[in-house]
Amino acid sequence: MTQPLVDQPRSPMDPNRPTALIAGVLLICATVASLAGTALEQPVLSGADYLTKVSGSATQIAAGGLLELIAAGTSVGIAISLYPMLRKRVAGLALASVVFRTIEAVMYTGAAASLLSLVLVSQKIAQAATSERSSLQLVGDSLMGMRQEFTLAGVFAFSVGAVMYYFAFYQSRLIPRWLSGWGVVGVLLILAACVSALFSGRPITTYATLVLPIAVQEMVLAVWLTTKGFSEQRPVVMNTAIRRPEVMA
67-99: b or e for each residue (b if 16 or more CB lie within 10 Å)? bbbbbbbbbbbbbbbbbebbeeebeebbebbbe
Hey, what amino acid is at 37? G
Q: With helix as H, strand as E and coil as C, how does 94-163 read?
A: HHHHHHHHHHHHHHHHHHHHHHHHHHHHHHHHHHCCHHHHHHHHHHHHHHHHHHHHHHHHHHHHHHHHHH
List of long-range contacts for 11-18, beta carbons under 8 Å, 24+ apart: 14/229, 14/232, 16/85, 16/229, 16/230, 16/232, 17/229
Residue by residue, pLDDT tens for the chain (249 residues) are: 555 544 444 445 567 788 899 999 999 999 999 989 988 988 888 888 888 888 888 899 999 999 999 999 999 999 999 898 888 888 888 899 999 999 999 999 999 999 999 988 888 887 777 777 788 889 888 999 899 999 999 999 999 989 988 998 998 888 999 999 999 999 999 999 988 888 887 888 788 888 899 999 999 999 999 999 888 654 433 444 444 544 444
Predicted local confidence at residue 55, as pLDDT: 84
CA atoms of 220 and 106, how far apart (whole Å): 26
Predicted local confidence at residue 213, as pLDDT: 92
CA atoms of 48 and 45, how far apart (whole Å): 9
Residues in the chain: 249
In 3D space, the residue among 56, 61, 57, 96 whose CA is nearest the CA of residue 79 turns out to be 96
Predicted local confidence at residue 233, as pLDDT: 52
Q: What is the phi-psi region of residue 150: left when phi exceeds 0, alpha when psi lies from -120 to 50, beta otherwise?
A: alpha
Helices of type H across the chain: 17-45, 50-56, 58-86, 91-127, 130-172, 177-200, 208-227
Predicted local confidence at residue 189, as pLDDT: 93
In 3D space, the residue among 204, 212, 208 whose CA is nearest the CA of residue 185 turns out to be 212
CA atoms of 105 and 75, how far apart (whole Å): 6
What residue ranges do the domains of the chain occupy? 17-227
The structure's pTM equals 0.81
